[in-house]
Amino acid sequence: MIAYNSERLSLALLGKTNSGKSSFLNFISDQDVSIVSSQKGTTTDPIKKSMEIHDFGPVLFFDTAGFDDNTNLYEKRIEKTKKAVEKSDILLYFLSIDDKIEEIYALKEKYKKIIFIASKQDLEIGNDLLEKFKDFSPLAINIKNNHDREKFFDKIKSTYKIEDNSITKSLVKENDLVLLVIPQDAEAPKYRLIKPQVMTIREIIDKNASAVSTNLKNLENTLNSFNKKPDLVITDSQYFKEVYNILDKDIRLTSFSVLFSAFKADINYYIESVKKLDQGAKKNLNCRSLFSSTNFRRYRNSKNSKTFEKKIQGYRNRLSKGRRF
């Protein structure tokens, strides 16, 4: 199965020009992916390189432009570097001898999953990097030593657990029974499931758990056929309420949408957004009650009619601009 970019662990290579980013990417991938030159501004747009780490999974590297690039295209390059950093799961920062200690501390504080790389260990400056930045436990990389490739892979495996990049994460364990409630879309090709469903089933099997699929109409029959309750039920979001009402309340329930929100995006941001929407809905209800005919007449005839008219006009202005209350 092909792993698309959103399903890969993303690693952004960040650092000043000539800090060894491009040489490192060529070394790790064992290919000439990036142009290596002592001239500043050699790397322009972020270079992407996908590969597979044995016993871990697919990863995607972003080789970014040095952020001290003073060429004419500096601002555009830096903007693209920022976007690459935002997309990354792990930041690989390549230390330079002229980096300031306080700036490195700031990076460590801002990015929780950051690995500091002391490259150029094949050169004399390599030891200077290790000595200056020893408090940050940098990973020493010698691109002429093939053992350092495995050393880097081991560091990635210890920094980012495979479970972090799985669909079901800790919800599914070995020997679990997972029931999937899958609707059949009339527009979908016959005899085929959509990709999120296939990916979830495959992962459950890879975890040595059991995946059983059914539809909403046959859900109760399927449950009655089991000699034990399922450890987890995953449903399509459109049937969430119906499935919830059928299941015993001690059976864990989630949806494909929730799982993939956590898998491809930030589930915490998703939860906070839902809370904001709930707050906005309550404010909108207050606004609707204000616009009701009874309230309108009552406020209009009150002593605060001018204040009321101003409030109404304010609501109208916000509505005309498509803004929330």
- What is the pLDDT, as a whole number, of residue 39? 52
Range among 52-61, 146-155, 179-188 rated most confident: 146-155
Range among 55-64, 193-202, 241-250 rated most confident: 241-250
Q: What is the largest CA-CA distance in the chain?
A: 85
pTM here?
0.56
- For residue 30, pLDDT over 60 is answered with yes
Domains belonging to the chain, first-starting first, are 9-159 (3.40.50.300), 163-282 (3.40.50.11420)
- What is the pLDDT, as a whole number, of residue 311? 55
Contact between residue 49 and residue 60 where contact means Cβ atoms under 8 Å apart: yes
- What is the pLDDT, as a whole number, of residue 4? 43
Range among 17-31, 135-149, 272-286 rated most confident: 135-149
Give the mean model confidence (pLDDT) for residues 177-199: 83
- What is the pLDDT, as a whole number, of residue 73? 56
Give the mean model confidence (pLDDT) for residues 287-310: 50
